[in-house]
Structures are given as C-alpha cells and as structure tokens.
Amino acid sequence: MSRAQRTLRYGPTGDPGGPLVFRGARVIPDYSIVIPAYDEQELLPGTLASVARAMAAVTRWTGEVVVVDNASRDRTADIARASGAYVVHEPHRQIARARNAGAAASRGRWLVFLDADTRLSGALLAATTDALAGGRIAAGGAPIDFGRSPTAFLAALLRVFRAVQRRLGWAAGCYLFCRRDAFEAVGGFDERLYATEELALSHALRRWARRRGLVMRVLGVSVSSSDRKLTWFSQRRIAWASLLFAVAPWRLGRREACWLWYERPAPRA
C-alpha cells in the first residue's frame, strides 16, 4: 500500500471541517506533532489540550498528533488515546528511539517534536508552519520559557543555553521541527545517545541544510516548558551531571549515566 493510500490518524478534536485529519481521510497531513511520553499522566492532558488549541488556530495546514508511549507505568497511553491522538508503543526506554518511532508512524511532510511537559501555542505552530512553507528553512527550534520567574540558577542556565542556541542554531529537546526529507536523510535521532540527541540532530540538520542553500533557524516565538527537574533534583546534582557530560561525553551512550533525563518519581495511582 502506498503512503498516499494509508488512512490518517485521528486529530485531537472532532470537527471534520477543521485543520485536523481523521481516520478514513485520504489526504496526507501537512505536519505531524510527535510527543514521546513516559509516565506523563499528570502533564500530558494539558499538553494535548494546548496542541488541540494550536492546531485549531492554524487553519491553513492540516496536522496529526502521534503520542509515543515509551513503556509507561501509568495511564499515559489511555489519556493520549482518549484525546484522539494516534498512540505508538515503544518498549525500549530511550528518548531518541521513542521520537524515531513516532516519526516512523507519522505521515506529515513536516515533523514537529514536542515534549509531553511542554505547551504549544498557536503563535508558535503558525511560525513553524510558515517557516517550513517558505522553502528556505529546513529545520529549527524555539527559545524555552518556563512560564514563571526562574531561580537565579535556572536564569543563568537559560542565558547560557539561549546564547549558544542562537549562535549554533540548536533546537532544545522540548521543541524541534524539520522537513521529513531532511530528517530521513540524516537518519533521525541518534539512538546511540540517551541524552542530547536533539543537539546531535540539530548539527546534522544544519549541515544538511547548508549543503542545499537552506538554513536551520531558532524562531522568535518561545515555547513554554516545565521546570520540574528543579523540584525533582537539587541544583547541585544538576550542575554536577552537566559538568560530567561536558568532560566525559561518552557517558551519553549509557542510560544509567543519563539519570537526569530518565530518573523520576513513581507515578501516582
């Protein structure tokens, strides 16, 4: 069966006249929003609600939502399915593999990778689709906003990351977008890495774009994400982990060494 003949997944609303795609439709969506999720029953509903609002606001393009249940122990998959998202199951706990699984199951010509603790606005989705539709931008990201006054520690980290992000065109892991052909050409997220795979992909996409006279760009519209790691872990542990990866990047190939991304409290019953 050809790609064009496959049926589309549910979008997160039931309005067949809107910008979403539905099971049985014969039109390939313009974009796919891929959300990897592990034990996200608390924050995923808010994220999916924001996605639905953003998609409803951007009427020029059609889209679909793919949630990748990455071996969750809670109701993540049920919540995603109830929202109308298409659910993919990836049993191996790895962010790169979950994102790749979602991309493989999606069908949009543009890919948007959104974390399960991150809210999508209509303004950002519109800026993303406009950028990709323009033809010159092959990929990009958005500055991170935590939605409240950050601690001095977090504010310092944000200043450093935003400066590097602008300089190098890096996309933060919570929000990355790209053309599908670019994503497939560079091999997707590097599954040898258990963390910072979005930076490796950003580098690969930037090189791919440059060879074709295109660019990778960090948009001017920010994305709102959670600062929950600062409540789960002490600032000292976070700083120590960051230093270790800076001096020993080979540790990124071991999940147990990447506890900052994989360790979390047990889900509530």
Torsion of CA 199, 261, 116, 90, to 10 degrees: 90
pLDDT at position 163 is 64
List the strands of the sheet with 63-69, edge to edge: 86-89, 63-69, 31-37, 110-114, 175-179, 137-141, 215-218
Structure tokens at 5: 């003949």
pLDDT tens digits, residue range 134-162? 999 999 999 887 665 556 665 666 666 66
Does the predicted model carry a pTM greater than 0.75? yes
Select the more confidently predicted residue: 143 or 96.
96
Question: Which domains, from first to last, does the chain contain?
Answer: 3-228 (3.90.550.10)
What is the phi/psi pair of residue 159, to 5°?
Answer: -60, -45
pLDDT at position 231 is 72
pLDDT tens digits, residue range 182-219? 999 999 999 998 888 998 999 999 999 999 999 999 99
**Of 235, 191, 265, the residue nearest 38 (C-alpha):** 265
What gap in Å lies between CA 233 and CA 52, rounded to an integer? Answer: 31
Average pLDDT value for residue range 74-103: 96
Amino acid at 149: S
Average pLDDT value for residue range 2-8: 29
What gap in Å lies between CA 5 and CA 26, rounded to an integer? Answer: 7
Contact between 226 and 146 under an 8 Å Cβ cutoff? The reply is yes
**Of 70, 66, 3, the residue nearest 35 (C-alpha):** 66
